[in-house]
């Protein structure tokens, strides 16, 4: 997991704003505006933190949906041309709550990470 250099309070507030944004379906540009207003960040910082936080919440929700659907295993699928950290995670199935070789339970592990975790079925 990358370090976004957020204080605990900032992290909490960004998480709240991102969750609200997802509930309303209002999108990254809307969240970016809110973050810029609230923290006086430039657009790049707001997109970096906002995008990463939205992706993180989406992945957590996805994992929960696997659990609710009775899945017990997950695997990491990289996008094309993954970074070395993500490439290490690719492939093998793990129990839903286990940690991949990078030390992460879920993507994203860096800004711009396009990896996903999918249900792993033994067949």
Binding site for Zn ion (CB under 5 A): 86, 113, 115
Residue 56 beta carbon to Zn ion: minimum distance, rounded to whole angstroms: 12
Q: Which is nearer to Zn ion, 113 or 117 (CB)?
A: 113
Contact 97, 90 (CB under 8 A): no
CA distances from 34 to 9, 44, 80 (A): 16, 13, 32
Q: From edge to edge, which strands make up the β-sheet containing 94-95?
A: 94-95, 73-77, 116-119
Residue 17 vs 86, nearer CB to Zn ion: 86
Min dist. Cβ of residue 122 to Zn ion (A): 25
Helix (H, G, I), strand (E, B) or coil at 1: coil
For Zn ion, the closer of residues 46 and 115 by Cβ is 115
Whether 119 and 65 have beta carbons less than 8 Å apart is answered as: no
Task: Give min distance, CB of 104 to Zn ion, in A.
Answer: 9
């Amino acid at each position: 997991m990358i370090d976004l250099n957020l204080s605990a309070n900032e992290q909490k507030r960004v998480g709240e704003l991102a969750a609200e944004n997802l509930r309303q379906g209002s999108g990254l540009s809307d969240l970016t505006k809110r973050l810029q207003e609230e923290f006086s960040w430039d657009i790049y910082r707001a997109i970096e933190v906002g995008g990463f936080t939205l992706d993180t919440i989406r992945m957590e929700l996805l994992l929960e949906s696997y659990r609710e659907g009775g899945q017990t295993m997950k695997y990491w699928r990289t996008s094309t041309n993954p970074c070395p950290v993500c490439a290490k995670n690719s492939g093998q199935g793990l129990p839903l709550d286990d940690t991949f070789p990078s030390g992460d339970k879920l993507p994203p592990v860096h800004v711009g990470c396009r990896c996903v975790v999918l249900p792993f079925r033994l067949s």
